[in-house]
Structure 1
Amino acid sequence: MTLYLNKRHGDAPNAKLFTQLDDNAKATETEVNLLNNKLKYHESSTTAHKSSQIDHGGLSVSTELETMKKRFANVITKADGTNVKEVLDLRINREGKEFDTANERVVEIEKSLSALDASVQKEYGFDYTTIPPVYHTSLNLADKTVLQCFVIDEKTGDIYATQVGSGNTDQSQNFVITRMNKNGVMLDCMTVVHGGHGTTIGLERENDRMYIWSNYDVVDSNGSTIGHDLVRFPYTAGATINGGNGGIKRFNKFTELYAIPVIDQQNGLIALRLKDSNDDSVVQLRKLNDVKNGIDNLLGEVTVPNDLHYLQGFTIDGYDLYWYTGDTNSVTYPAELSLFSFKDGKLKKRITCDFGRGPDGKYEGDFREPESVFLYKDPMTGKKSLFAAIATGSVGKRLAKVYAYHSKDNAAAFATDLSQGFQGYPLTKNNGNAMRLPDGITKLKDFRQVGYYYMTTAETSKLTDHPAGGDAGWWFHVAPADISGSVIQTLTRNSTGRPIKIYTRVVTNAGVAGDWTELMSSQALDWTNLPLKNGASNPDSDDKLQYAINGGLVYLRGRVKIPETDGVIFAVLPAGARPGKAWFTGCQVAGTSGDRKIDVRANGEIVAWGFNVNSVDAVTYTYLNIVFPIG
């Protein structure tokens, strides 16, 4: 730079000036470098940006901000020396605590609201995976087949359950609907011909009448199933509906696949489970009114994973889908309850179910199969309960037991309702139905478990100590034991065409049984003709030799012509109508005065001995009128 200036001006008088300028430039360059270094230090410093380091009119920014905060608080809380009441009220909570600023009070309110929201969620939220299942009741079903589905009328509490009809054939798939009270005791039932299996049904109450939504088979003129419809029909106690009768109305299900329905009564929703030939399941959610009006408005859809395809029941709650699966005794597919969301189709929760065992910790008959699930919402409180059923017991002795995952308060509410309508049957398994004896029992004296039981005619014939085995079906009551462990066993014959028979006895704790004693159940005697032998005969049909048993006594009557041979056996009583030892008595004769000695032996033989008469030749026949204790 110096050289350039000298060349430009060239005159010696200006040389000093240019030298001075050059020195100034060098100084400026040094200052610039110093400033750059300060800027770089400031930029990289972690403490160079505090409000206390920034100047504002001779004061730091931090000082100015604190001053403004104090002035602002003063302006809000004071005006011309008087407090602003609304602001002061805002700073004081309901317990009288005063906060320094209104903002602090607002923060406390927000925290309280957040805590309240969490409390509400805890109170009304429902997570069945955190709740232990409890026994609810057993279902007294109309048919002898296994339970298929049950749903609850959330207005009345009545239970509606389905079963495959026991008389089904390949071309006639019928199902039975049983209506029960809250305790599971049958009120009435109806039959749906060509209705399929009744795997699931939905309830809809309209104009205070209950309607059933169901799958319904389409049949041809030969009765063969050629398709499936989605239908609705009114529940009619005692009715049998078939195709055109019974008020059946058909609806578009928007698919050609086999579809079964469930309904969310409170939210007005319906879900259809669609099954293809591979047993794959897709569940679709719609508004019930849309389906009734033929509108295909899909709200959500869930594709069920293959390992959960063994369906035993499903139910919905808004956009929640509860899915119940498992095969018999969990051989291939374990009993599981899963939760899906229709919003995204994803699996949310999944647990294994092992409820349903009997008092001994085992499943009755070594059999268990999941059967049906239902999500109940209390119409007043909104509290929820998830009910799931399990079938146990051997063939012909199936039990349909219902368990519940109750939200808070529902357990107590249901317990109160059940207790009001409960009629106690000691140790009954199926409210209203007697229990059945375990398989393999050969002697009643070996079974001393207190309760009411029932045995069929075939079962009684296998019992060696039954007083009238094979005669009919019998109720068997084992009364509670005394302090030594002895129980009373009582048998009652199931008969309407003949007089009721009642037997009773005591069985000790050691298994020693007393004799069966027949109780007097009626003054009417049930007479049975007794065949004659060895030449004995009846003079007419009105006075045949007959016997009857009542109240532990055997009655013999008849007018009989008996050979004069001393010791002649003229009849034999059957087992169960014989004395414990020989019974002797005299019976009057006809044709002359006097009587003849009659002997009734412990083996049943009835023997005639000598005469005590005026003239043996004048005797025509003998009047038998004998009463002796049985056994």
Structure 2
Amino acid sequence: MPDVEDPQPGGPTRRVLLLAGAVTVGAAALGVQVAASAASRRTGVVAASPVASGTPTPTPTLDPLPDPTPFATFPTLANPGVMQDFSYLPAISTFFVTQKSAGSEAAFETLIISRVNASGAVLDAMTLIDGGHGLGIEAESQPDATYIWVTWQGKSLESGWRENDFVRFRYTPGSWSRADAVGQLGLVVLPLKDEPEAQFRFDWKNDWAVERHYDWNGATETYKRRRISDISNGVMLPDEQLDRLPLPVDPPTTQGFATIDDTFYRWLGRGTVGDAIEPTDPITLQRFDWKTGRLLAEQHFSTVSKVGTSWPGGKFEPEGMCMFREPDGAATLLVGDTTGLPKHEHHVSAFARITI
């Protein structure tokens, strides 16, 4: 990546915009297959991460994971740029992969979402004009359509300034402006607080929605664990009622994140040209305990997607992370990367049936 944009000083305070023509937020209106529970109203544990508090990083307590195994390769995508993130629907063996390109103005980026089969072939693509960077995407399969959840980091229809709205809409190939998406794709603007940068990843089985909030005022980012059902019903609990993980960033460079049960995962590392790993920002997988904020494991990987001793095309960058459930409920964690320069190839690797 990197996966953050330059801040826009002097812009208006972010406020929730239920745009004209948008569907009213609510689980019934969205058709979301989640159920609100008593736990979604509980007072969460405020979990300040040890690695963000200035205290020494604790010794990890988990055994290292084996190297991830190759899962999918995308020789090309709809755009020549690097992959940013992805979501995977195992029932139909289909990926939804994000990329970015230049927006209509310097302050904006256009988001491209490619629909890709398990063989790596691009089936079709969707372009969201001034839609944003593409970190954090969830695909949701419903009987009538596939729906996309993503942060739309484009122009507000009201102010003309950059907004960061968490939205849900029908995946529909073609090129779409924000106004068109509102009118034709069933776009729903979901509630966010006054935050300049926020992305989400889901654990559908447990109704967890993890929000990443980047702090422009310091080298930190905070992850907050919400309920999908809360967001769908327009409920945004205050921070003091949420599990929270404040973590250092830049370095390390965040390339993806995911949550499985009570464990949080972060995929890190700067891109590198040549065969050597960037020593100050290596390819890293971190695992944290949501209940305590403790760093459970930190593991560096130096051979992901290498062919022999080299990366194809002499370039490598970690790009994206998601999880999915096997039919028996076991979770598989997927991590992505892009290799090659100037022609890119994109890879997904799997930590299969991960237990923590």
Fold in common (TM above 0.5): yes
Identify the structure with the greater helix proportion.
Answer: 1
| Structure 1 Cα separation of the partners of residues 227 and 132 of structure 2 | 25
- Which residue matches 1:295? 235
- Which residue matches 2:71? 136
| Structure 2 Cα separation of the partners of residues 235 and 394 of structure 1 | 30
| Structure 2 Cα separation of the partners of residues 389 and 130 of structure 1 | 16
Question: How many positions carry a matched residue from both structures?
Answer: 280
Shift of 1:325: 0.9
1:199-248 Cα deviation digits (max 9, x unpaired): 12122334453211111135257995333111111111235242334322
| Structure 1 Cα separation of the partners of residues 221 and 112 of structure 2 | 25
- Which residue matches 2:81? 145
Shifted more, 347-356 versus 304-313: the winner is 304-313
| Structure 2 Cα separation of the partners of residues 252 and 279 of structure 1 | 26
The letter of the residue matching 1:382 is: G
Residues 260 and 331, structure 2, Cα contact 8 Å, conserved in 1: no
Residues 322 and 339, structure 1, Cα contact 8 Å, conserved in 2: yes
Task: Using CA pairs under 8 Å that are at least 6 residues apart, name the structure with larger relative contact order, 1 or 2.
Answer: 2
Residue 156 to residue 279, structure 1, CA distance change in 2 (3 Å): farther
Partner of residue 338 from structure 2, selected from 391, 394, 403: 391
| Structure 2 Cα separation of the partners of residues 279 and 209 of structure 1 | 39
- Which residue matches 1:478? none
The letter of the residue matching 2:298 is: R
| Structure 1 Cα separation of the partners of residues 314 and 159 of structure 2 | 38
| Structure 2 Cα separation of the partners of residues 255 and 128 of structure 1 | 39
Greater than 4 Å deviation, 4+ residue runs: 166-169, 220-224, 306-309
Shift of 1:168: 6.0
Residue 351 of structure 1 pairs with residue 299 of structure 2: yes
1:104-149 Cα deviation digits (max 9, x unpaired): xxxxxxxxxxxxxxxxxxxxxxx78332322222124111010000
Q: Structure 1 length normalisation: TM-score? A: 0.42
Shift of 1:177: 0.4
Shift of 1:291: 0.8
Residue 221 to residue 134, structure 1, CA distance change in 2 (3 Å): closer
- Which residue matches 1:362? 310
- Which residue matches 2:267? 324
Question: Which aligned pairs between 1:88-487 and structure 2 lie closer than 5 A?
Answer: 129-139=64-74, 140-165=76-101, 169-219=105-155, 225-243=161-179, 244-245=182-183, 246-277=185-216, 278-297=218-237, 298-306=241-249, 309-329=252-272, 330-331=277-278, 332-378=280-326, 380-395=327-342, 397-407=343-353
Identify the structure with the greater strand proportion.
Answer: 2
Question: Which aligned pairs between 1:549-628 and structure 2 lie closer than 5 A?
Answer: none
| Structure 2 Cα separation of the partners of residues 132 and 358 of structure 1 | 12
| Structure 1 Cα separation of the partners of residues 158 and 330 of structure 2 | 49
Shift of 1:172: 4.0
Residue 307 to residue 170, structure 1, CA distance change in 2 (3 Å): closer
The letter of the residue matching 1:173 is: E
Residue 241 to residue 267, structure 1, CA distance change in 2 (3 Å): farther
Shift of 1:280: 1.4
1:404-441 Cα deviation digits (max 9, x unpaired): 12239xxxxxxxxxxxxxxxxxxxxxxxxxxxxxxxxx
Shift of 1:154: 3.4
Residues 203 and 263, structure 1, Cα contact 8 Å, conserved in 2: no
SS of the residue 1:211 aligns to = strand
Amino-acid identity (%): 25
Shift of 1:182: 1.7
Structure 2 gaps of 5+ residues are 1-61
Residue 262 to residue 272, structure 1, CA distance change in 2 (3 Å): same
SS of the residue 2:163 aligns to = strand
Residues 108 and 162, structure 2, Cα contact 8 Å, conserved in 1: no
Residues 174 and 194, structure 1, Cα contact 8 Å, conserved in 2: yes
Q: Considering only CA atoms, is the larger Rg found in Structure 1 or Structure 2?
A: 1
Residue 147 to residue 333, structure 1, CA distance change in 2 (3 Å): same
- Which residue matches 1:485? none
Residues 145 and 166, structure 1, Cα contact 8 Å, conserved in 2: no
| Structure 1 Cα separation of the partners of residues 243 and 304 of structure 2 | 33
1:319-358 Cα deviation digits (max 9, x unpaired): 2211011111243311101011221222111100223344
Residue 163 to residue 313, structure 1, CA distance change in 2 (3 Å): same
SS of the residue 2:298 aligns to = strand
| Structure 2 Cα separation of the partners of residues 194 and 324 of structure 1 | 26
Pairwise CA RMSD: 2.5
Residue 295 to residue 404, structure 1, CA distance change in 2 (3 Å): same
Residues 175 and 195, structure 1, Cα contact 8 Å, conserved in 2: yes
The letter of the residue matching 1:227 is: E
Shifted more, 343-352 versus 359-368: the winner is 359-368
The letter of the residue matching 2:309 is: G
Residues 356 and 401, structure 1, Cα contact 8 Å, conserved in 2: no
Residues 148 and 164, structure 1, Cα contact 8 Å, conserved in 2: yes
| Structure 2 Cα separation of the partners of residues 224 and 392 of structure 1 | 36
Residue 194 to residue 167, structure 1, CA distance change in 2 (3 Å): closer
| Structure 2 Cα separation of the partners of residues 167 and 381 of structure 1 | 42
Residue 258 to residue 358, structure 1, CA distance change in 2 (3 Å): closer
